[in-house]
Structure 1
Amino acid sequence: MRKLVPALAGLFALVLSAPASAWWEYGHQTVASIAWLSVRPETRARISELLRQEKLLDTPTCPAKTIEQASVWPDCVKPLGDRFSFAYSWHYQNTEICRPFSLKADCKDGNCVASQIDRNARLLADTTVPARERVMALAFLVHFVGDLAQPMHAAGHNGDRGGNDVKVNYGVVPSNLHSIWDGYLAERAFSTPPKDAAGILAQSTPAERARLAAGTTEDWSREGWELARRYAYGSILQDPCAVPAQQPTSMSEQTIRSLVPIVRRQALAGGLRLARLLDDALGPRHLAPGQKPPKSPVPPKPAG
């Protein structure tokens, strides 16, 4: 009986660790807060200026007055039906983990999260776009960069809808692979000291932050695809390409602890990448993804 008590206590702790909110809330807000703390002061001012116009969205049940509120706005408006149904497929891309990576094949007509990050960054950078569209583009951009930072929004296997169809117990809590990464792991990772955005940022070095912020949406998509294969599917299957058993597997406390640094790193990466995109789009040059800043004119050589 004495040996059973610690085991039961560990399982009970896992049940208590079930999040009050999933990645779509806590995770997105953490990524947004990291970006807010990382952007230039003038970018912060322009974000605030745009969000002061959030009433143009005409979604009173889904406010976007702060960057944290804006980060969950695209999920909040999903129940509004036909008004925003066009954006449903923009939140993910189910790139097959057991085929060579090919974003182009899995992002036809731009209906995937990577393409929509670039599209909304372009809209945000274009000062000729109506204010309502730029406010919406800001909310979508903040949200979609957060989505892409979560590996199960970047990949899937055998049509399992990004792990939604893979039954996995989080300790003793019945769940699925997508929800564990969306919610249970996010809550555990972001509440682990030093917690939240400030704590996650404090654990990183300037060199690491510069490295994580670099790259393109295709680079970030490939990274998420690799992480999904190695750490998400790899944490429950010896062979990530094997067909999961019909009976749910259980994710142990040891596995959960090993994945916490991965999830924290992804939130950091998402926040820093978002900060870079916002600094570019709202900076004096209003740069869109892939657009190079104009070259400074070369001063003429002095005569003689």
Structure 2
Amino acid sequence: MMHRLIRLFAPLALLAAQPALAWGDYAHRLTGSIAWSQLSPAARAEVQRLLRSERQLETPDCKLASIEDASVWPDCVRGQYRDRFAFSAPWHYQNISVCAAFDINAKCPNGDCVTAQIPRQQAILADRSRPAHERLQAFSFLVHFIGDMHQPLHLGDKADLGGNNVRAAYGFKAPDRMNLHRIWDSELAERALTEPPAIAPQRITRTQRRAFTAGPANTAARVAEWARAAWEISRTTAYPELQDYPDSCSFSAEALRALPRGMVTPDYVAKATPAVRDQVTRAGTRIALLVNEALATRPAAR
């Protein structure tokens, strides 16, 4: 078993001295690249026009010059311009309990959650009466939040902040700072998405695109379906497959702190990797769907 763990996690030692790639960086940027490859020519032209209004956002420490930048800009401004963008903090997730039936309306007061914000930001992006920089901000939020929603622990929850309060170990990386949510955000995403065969935007087939975008025409209804699927992965894989960690829904906040540290094993990684890769591919395709719809019509000639 130890030899298997060494073979599985040894590549991570080479990454230790490098900047961390995460769902907020590596996976998000990949969703952006996938989306860009599927945008219509008219949508691409409008996005490029909106990107030229970047300076009006007055966030010089957070670059916004491409769809890949847009995919991570909301996380950047939360850190670099915390006071200005504190309002957006709850928009990145929705803690829907996996201990009860799926409820799209749970834990979303006043629409301050990821599933409510996706239709809102799409509507702002589509509104050509708004200033370009406002629509650019909405574009970035839309791209980022679709990515966030496809990370299962941005939706599934056991009263532990989507796994943030679940202590977990991943190979030999700083166990005192590791938790289940972080592992899905970063270490697991890095491994799943860099493992051959690489996910290439141009290799996503029309059949896959149709399957990933099938469903209701209404954005809110689509989002509910996409959210349920991500939530289901957290319910069936992210939580119960964690070795040495009790799969229970009855722990209080105090009890959570006393629970043993769960272990992300090679078997866990093998089961989670296809889900990570599939979710990123779906997210990129669905970003393109909603952006294409928002930018489908040109303003009438005057």
Q: What is the TM-score with the length of structure 1 in the denominator?
A: 0.85
Secondary structure of the residue that 1:77 maps to in structure 2?
A: helix
Q: What are the ranges of 5 or more consecutive residues in structure 1 without an aligned counterpart?
A: 287-304
The corresponding residue for 1:269 is: 282
The corresponding residue for 1:189 is: 192
Report if aligned partners of 1:15, 1:171 keep a CA contact under 8 Å in 2: no
Report if aligned partners of 2:5, 2:265 keep a CA contact under 8 Å in 1: no
The corresponding residue for 2:263 is: 250
Q: Look up the equivalent residue of 2:296 and give its one-letter code.
A: G
Residues 19-34 of structure 1: pairs in structure 2 closer than 5 A: 20-34=20-34
Residues 102-251 of structure 1: pairs in structure 2 closer than 5 A: 102-157=103-158, 159-173=159-173, 174=175, 175-198=178-201, 202=203, 204-215=204-215, 216-236=222-242, 239=247, 241=249, 243=251, 246-251=259-264
Q: Does 1:44 align with 2:50?
A: no
Report if aligned partners of 1:150, 1:181 keep a CA contact under 8 Å in 2: yes
Give identity over the alignment, percent: 42
Secondary structure of the residue that 2:168 maps to in structure 1?
A: strand
Pairwise CA distance, 1:5? 6.0
Q: 1:165 to 1:136 in 2, by over 3 A?
A: same
Q: 1:120 to 1:12 in 2, by over 3 A?
A: same
The corresponding residue for 1:54 is: 54
Report if aligned partners of 2:95, 2:106 keep a CA contact under 8 Å in 1: no
Distance 2:108 2:145 in 1: 14
Of the candidates 280, 284, 292, which is equivalent to residue 297 of structure 2?
284
Pairwise CA distance, 1:171? 2.3
Pairwise CA distance, 1:17? 6.0
Q: What are the ranges of 5 or more consecutive residues in structure 2 without an aligned counterpart?
A: 216-221
Report if aligned partners of 2:4, 2:266 keep a CA contact under 8 Å in 1: no
Q: 1:136 to 1:163 in 2, by over 3 A?
A: same
Q: Deviations over 1:143-165 (max 9, x none)?
A: 101100101111210x2111011
Q: Look up the equivalent residue of 1:94 and give its one-letter code.
A: N
Pairwise CA distance, 1:25? 0.6
Report if aligned partners of 1:214, 1:273 keep a CA contact under 8 Å in 2: no
Q: Deviations over 1:241-280 (max 9, x none)?
A: 4656712121112321221111000001101111000110
Moved more, 208-217 or 240-249: 240-249
RMSD of aligned C-alpha atoms?
A: 2.2
Pairwise CA distance, 1:8? 4.1
Report if aligned partners of 1:78, 1:85 keep a CA contact under 8 Å in 2: yes
Q: Look up the equivalent residue of 1:246 and give its one-letter code.
A: L
Distance 1:68 1:192 in 2: 21
The corresponding residue for 1:64 is: 64
Pairwise CA distance, 1:231? 1.1
Pairwise CA distance, 1:105? 2.7
The corresponding residue for 1:85 is: 86
Number of aligned positions between the proteins: 280
Report if aligned partners of 1:172, 1:250 keep a CA contact under 8 Å in 2: no
Distance 2:132 2:3 in 1: 60
Q: Look up the equivalent residue of 1:230 and give its one-letter code.
A: T
Q: 1:70 to 1:242 in 2, by over 3 A?
A: same
> Of the two, which has the highest radius of gyration?
1
Report if aligned partners of 2:5, 2:266 keep a CA contact under 8 Å in 1: no
Of the candidates 10, 13, 20, which is equivalent to residue 12 of structure 1?
10
Distance 1:251 1:40 in 2: 41
Pairwise CA distance, 1:172? 2.9
Report if aligned partners of 1:43, 1:282 keep a CA contact under 8 Å in 2: yes
Report if aligned partners of 1:17, 1:184 keep a CA contact under 8 Å in 2: no
Distance 1:15 1:142 in 2: 31
Distance 1:165 1:238 in 2: 14
Q: What is the TM-score with the length of structure 2 in the denominator?
A: 0.86
Q: 1:242 to 1:264 in 2, by over 3 A?
A: farther
Q: Deviations over 1:166-225 (max 9, x none)?
A: 011112332211011100111111111222443xx52x4422221112341111111111
